[in-house]
Structure 1
Amino acid sequence: MKNMLKGLGAALCVALPLLAQAPADAATPAAAGAADQALVQRGAYLAQLGDCAACHTAPKGKPFAGGLPMNTPMGRIYVTNITPDAQTGIGGYTEADFARALREGVAKDGHNLYPAMPYPSYAKVNDDDVKALYAFFMHGVAPVQQANRESDIKWPLNMRWPLMFWNMAFLQKGAYRDKPGKDVAWNRGAYLVQGLGHCGSCHTPRGVAFQESALDESGSAFLSGALLDGWFASNLTGEHNSGLGRWSDEDLRTFLKTGANRHASAFGAMTSVINNSTQALSDQDVAAVSAYLKSLPPVGGNGAAAYTYDPQATKVSLDRPANDAGARVYTAYCMHCHGVDGRGFAPMLAPLAGNPNVLAKDASSLINVTLNGTGDLVINGVPSPFPMPGFAAVLDDKQIADVLSFVRAGWNNGAPAVGAAEVAKLRQSTQAGR
């Protein structure tokens, strides 16, 4: 589903008074410089909205210098340097070169980018926003001389020319156009979610060619949840159990700004999205995103009846934990944070009863976060006090399967059980190289 200074409105408020002071026939150099700075500032907001830093900045690396490893079905690639360094970054790019790379996935030298770069979403970015982004990356980012690293994808899968045909089949060119019959907020939200926010890149299932199954709400699979790199990105439609059907507009706006609400807390890749992007959204843009997402009809889910909370059976199990292996693990390791009633202490400690991630068909995210924990949510510079710890070194595969099966059945959650083989598979894939 990833803003950031006080928005487009703030940038325009800075620029318009300065332009008004200039002569009608020409801008003074000072006014032109100020106007350029306003464009850079606006581009900074848009870069946060697009969550560019999350992918293009490696841990402990310099901003936008690349090097972050990213797993794909074909192998590991390393994200590129997009600082304005002339030798190793994009300092030699014209605005047209930049726009082509952003919206068509073609670098200055003509080679095709892997669609791990979400250019099918960025294709919808309008010309004014491309101009502002270009101004930011050329004049608001410090150049860093850091050579790009070759991918680990083996020949012949590392050949780029077949991506031309991939683009012909799956890339829909053209900036977003407002939908008739929809209000300003809905269209703004649709533009942000489908475009720079590139929410579909993670939250929409992919086809056999790694293409998103839908790029907007006209496709039934759009934002219905998807497995990606060991995490199941949540269903963002109005589905009652695993989607946003029980979330109010306020719930969703709170989650985008803080990463937690009475239903769930962010983890995995979504932690980075909250930290680097959505918490800095202007209130107007948060409201627009929420309006759009809340308009999406329910899709997906596990076919279960609409969730209602019922603690009784689970309370009995926890009263006599020796009768249930999963309850024993829960009592020892989970109950102090998530509670006997499964409701946690939201928003500081996530509830498990009725949590959409618990109710999802795919348990990958639950397994992954139990094994590996999650990074800190950092809101307004303050880290969250109670991040989820990892239990890979403490619990074996069967214990994790048992406790997650207990949680997915508990408090009337009614979700499928987890097998030890599923845990073992994710343990191997996520612990490799640690």
Structure 2
Amino acid sequence: MVFGLRAKSLRRCFACGALACAVALPAICRAAAAAPVTADVADTADTATALVARGAYLAKLADCAGCHTNAPTGRPPKPSPPFAGGLPMGSPFGTIWASNITPDPGFGIGRYSYEDFERAVRDGIAPGGKRLYPAMPFPSFSKISDDDMHALYAYFMHGVKPVAVPAPKTKLPFPFNQRWALAVWDEVFAPETRFDPRSDRSAKWNRGAYLVQALGHCGACHTPRGPAYEERGLNDGDPLYLTGGTNDHWFAPNLTGDPNSGLGRLSADDIAAFLKHGHGGGLLAFGSMVEVVEDSGQYMNDDDLQAIATYLKTLPPREKSGHVDTDPARNAATVEVLRTGSVEYPGAGIYNAFCARCHRADGQGEAGKYPRLAGNPIVVAPHAASLVRLLIEGSRSADTIDGPQPHRMPSFVGKLSDTEIARVLTFIRHAWGNEAQPVAPREVTQMRSTLHR
């Protein structure tokens, strides 16, 4: 751990200058307002304002609001204060409550020094030595650059409104309530390294890799986890990185170049559009990804969106699953079955009655409204959890500033039995050239029980 100790010492050196800068921000702004505006004062005030603005953008990239705001801001019926915490997050060990990260000195992080802030974000250790649960993606945030960390601190201290509201305390059952044990977890599974750009790659590729691996912490959902809830890969050098993972009963799909259950058949522009609006390449964001698009993706500038897409498109196919036969004859055969019923095909009648109006007989959906099911990576994914949960709970598409009008998919609880849901999903996973494992009724029953539906 010699390298880790050196890294922490270096961060403390950087912290001294950053803390002095951050503490001076309010005084700088007051002085600029009260005194005649000289060039030096104006430049300093502009620099402080720019630092806070940059931090605000980085907080969007990191989707801090997604976990630390109890409801999407600005939406009815009663928006919760931004960053005030209180969002319950499911984990295999129990419910973890997101903390208040506004600059309120009593219930938030208002008394955090820069060093406190940086240690919590990068190392998962709050003031007083309190260990944070790995629901906080500090294994990814350890890669955030010092400049970006300074900007984030400036924003949360001077660009966020303090909210004097306590967040519910996390109370996990024994032995998971023993936070001291997390020191062992951190030692084994939490790296203490910055992002290291690759000299053999372009600046655009390196920017995309940094956003995906660090601020975007995409691996927190899209990488499988081990028995200790650890991500089984933290960068593209790890063979399981971004190959898909299950979180809170949603399966986050493979983001490598697998042409079937991954991104292999999507273009870089498709990926950028998906992140920006929740629609791209005939695919549509649903479930927890909707909030990622609304709270983060839609605010990314075009250069960063393209950088992310560029990086993802270079990932080689890994953990291949399912198959998509693109022969037009396979699609035509399904259309004929749905049109005539000439072949007994379990689930086809259910699809005709409940799904075909939006997703069409050819499985192509409607651009900007309904996703295609033919060749959809999530349809041929190794796990059908997302499809099952989608039919049980329903979902909605993303509501973005300049994206398509949002639409809602209804819940089919009360309309279809567990067996009927399993049959129509099995049909979808075998129609139009899709080739994936069938869905058993017990999978639907188990999911419904888990969701209390």
- 2:265 matched residue in structure 1: 246
Please state whether the residue corresponding to 1:358 is helix, strand or coil: coil
- 2:350 matched residue in structure 1: 329
Distance, in Å, in 1 between the alignment partners of 2:39 and 2:149 is 23
Q: Which amino acid aligns with 2:209?
A: A
- 1:33 matched residue in structure 2: 45
Distance, in Å, in 2 between the alignment partners of 1:305 and 1:388 is 25
Does 1:356 find its partner at 2:377? yes
Please state whether the residue corresponding to 2:186 is helix, strand or coil: helix
- 1:113 matched residue in structure 2: 132
Q: Structure 1 residue 320: deviation in Å?
A: 3.9
Mapped contact 1:240–1:307 kept (Cα < 8 A): no
Larger CA deviation: 57-66 vs 123-132? 57-66
Mapped contact 1:372–1:391 kept (Cα < 8 A): yes
Judged with a 3 Å threshold, the aligned counterparts in structure 2 of structure 1 residues 58 and 391 are, in CA distance, closer, same or farther, namely same
Structure 2 residues without counterparts, runs of 5 or longer? 1-31, 33-37, 72-78
Distance, in Å, in 1 between the alignment partners of 2:318 and 2:263 is 10
Where do 1:68-83 residues align within 5 Å? Answer: 68-83=87-102
Please state whether the residue corresponding to 1:210 is helix, strand or coil: coil
- 1:56 matched residue in structure 2: 68
Does 1:201 find its partner at 2:224? no
Distance, in Å, in 1 between the alignment partners of 2:293 and 2:412 is 24
Where do 1:85-96 residues align within 5 Å? Answer: 85-96=104-115
Mapped contact 1:259–1:266 kept (Cα < 8 A): yes
Q: Structure 1 residue 170: deviation in Å?
A: 0.9
The structure showing larger relative contact order (alpha-carbon pairs under 8 Å, at least 6 residues apart) is: 1
- 2:74 matched residue in structure 1: none
Q: Structure 1 residue 412: deviation in Å?
A: 1.1
Mapped contact 2:224–2:244 kept (Cα < 8 A): yes
Distance, in Å, in 2 between the alignment partners of 1:382 and 1:189 is 23
Q: TM-score, normalised by structure 1?
A: 0.90
Decide which of 54, 67, 89 is 1:42's aligned counterpart: 54
Distance, in Å, in 1 between the alignment partners of 2:191 and 2:416 is 46
Decide which of 394, 408, 412 is 1:391's aligned counterpart: 412
Distance, in Å, in 2 between the alignment partners of 1:307 and 1:430 is 35
Distance, in Å, in 2 between the alignment partners of 1:68 and 1:135 is 24
Please state whether the residue corresponding to 1:77 is helix, strand or coil: strand
- 1:314 matched residue in structure 2: 334
Larger CA deviation: 351-360 vs 306-315? 306-315
Mapped contact 1:240–1:306 kept (Cα < 8 A): no
Decide which of 384, 400, 415 is 1:379's aligned counterpart: 400
Q: Which amino acid aligns with 1:431?
A: H
Distance, in Å, in 2 between the alignment partners of 1:386 and 1:210 is 34
- Give CA deviations for 1:133-177 in whole Å, capped at 9, x if unaligned: 001101111000111212241122211011101010011112111
Structure 1 residues without counterparts, runs of 5 or longer? 1-21
Mapped contact 2:322–2:381 kept (Cα < 8 A): no
Larger CA deviation: 134-143 vs 390-399? 390-399
Please state whether the residue corresponding to 2:307 is helix, strand or coil: helix
Mapped contact 2:243–2:255 kept (Cα < 8 A): yes
Please state whether the residue corresponding to 1:253 is helix, strand or coil: helix
Q: Which amino acid aligns with 1:78?
A: W
- Give CA deviations for 1:3-54 in whole Å, capped at 9, x if unaligned: xxxxxxxxxxxxxxxxxxx9xxx97333322211110000000000000001
Please state whether the residue corresponding to 1:328 is helix, strand or coil: helix
Mapped contact 2:285–2:397 kept (Cα < 8 A): no
Decide which of 114, 120, 125 is 2:144's aligned counterpart: 125
Distance, in Å, in 2 between the alignment partners of 1:105 and 1:312 is 54
Judged with a 3 Å threshold, the aligned counterparts in structure 2 of structure 1 residues 383 and 66 are, in CA distance, closer, same or farther, namely farther
How many residues are aligned here?
A: 408
Does 1:425 find its partner at 2:437? no
Mapped contact 1:241–1:307 kept (Cα < 8 A): no
Mapped contact 1:271–1:376 kept (Cα < 8 A): yes
Q: Structure 1 residue 304: deviation in Å?
A: 3.6
Mapped contact 1:376–1:383 kept (Cα < 8 A): no
Judged with a 3 Å threshold, the aligned counterparts in structure 2 of structure 1 residues 227 and 158 are, in CA distance, closer, same or farther, namely same
Q: Structure 1 residue 214: deviation in Å?
A: 0.6
Distance, in Å, in 1 between the alignment partners of 2:434 and 2:386 is 16
Q: Structure 1 residue 303: deviation in Å?
A: 5.4
Q: Which amino acid aligns with 2:243?
A: S
Does 1:141 find its partner at 2:160? yes
Q: Which amino acid aligns with 1:280?
A: Y
Q: TM-score, normalised by structure 2?
A: 0.87
Q: Structure 1 residue 306: deviation in Å?
A: 5.8
Please state whether the residue corresponding to 1:348 is helix, strand or coil: coil
Distance, in Å, in 2 between the alignment partners of 1:195 and 1:155 is 31
Distance, in Å, in 1 between the alignment partners of 2:334 and 2:322 is 22
Mapped contact 1:329–1:399 kept (Cα < 8 A): yes
- 2:177 matched residue in structure 1: 158
Distance, in Å, in 2 between the alignment partners of 1:368 and 1:127 is 40
Distance, in Å, in 1 between the alignment partners of 2:122 and 2:449 is 36
Distance, in Å, in 1 between the alignment partners of 2:445 and 2:130 is 39
Distance, in Å, in 2 between the alignment partners of 1:74 and 1:184 is 40
Decide which of 166, 187, 211 is 1:192's aligned counterpart: 211
Mapped contact 1:263–1:356 kept (Cα < 8 A): no
